Amino acid sequence: MGLNCWEIKKCGLENNCPAKHETKLNGIHGGENGGRACWIVHGTLCDNEIQGDHTEKYTRCYQCEAYNIVREEEASNFLVAGKLLNKLKV
């Protein structure tokens, strides 16, 4: 299991962040809830700011340390946005 976004970023906001509580993404990329798919979770608390949905935070997330670490660690097993969105619909 890899580090979750709040562990990578050391933000201290995980208890209030939607990524920590998004159970439909639990286990994705080996993370806890949405911790390793945070870029797809609406309203995350990145850099002490409430973020929008994945389309609104696209540029910011794809430059983020957490996103890039997960992408590198997962390599060919990395799930693209469409597959992650489908999991949220379940």
Q: How confident is the model at residue 65 (pLDDT cuts 50, 70, 90)?
A: very high
- For residue 90, tell me if it sits in a domain: no
Model confidence at 72: pLDDT above 80: yes
Percent of the chain with pLDDT over 90: 86
Q: Which domain holds residue 74?
A: 5-85
Which has more confidence, 43 or 82? 43
What pLDDT, on a 0 to 100 scale, did the predictor assign at position 90?
Answer: 64
Model confidence at 89: pLDDT above 90: no
- Asked if residue 77 belongs to a domain, the reply is yes
| Separation of alpha carbons 58 and 32, rounded Å | 22
Quick check: is 61 in a domain? yes
- Say how many domains are in the chain: 1
Mean pLDDT of the chain: 94
Query: What are the distances in angstroms from CA 70 to CA 27, 46, 49, 77, 78?
Result: 13, 16, 21, 10, 8
Tell whether the model's pLDDT for residue 80 goes beyond 90: no
pTM: 0.91
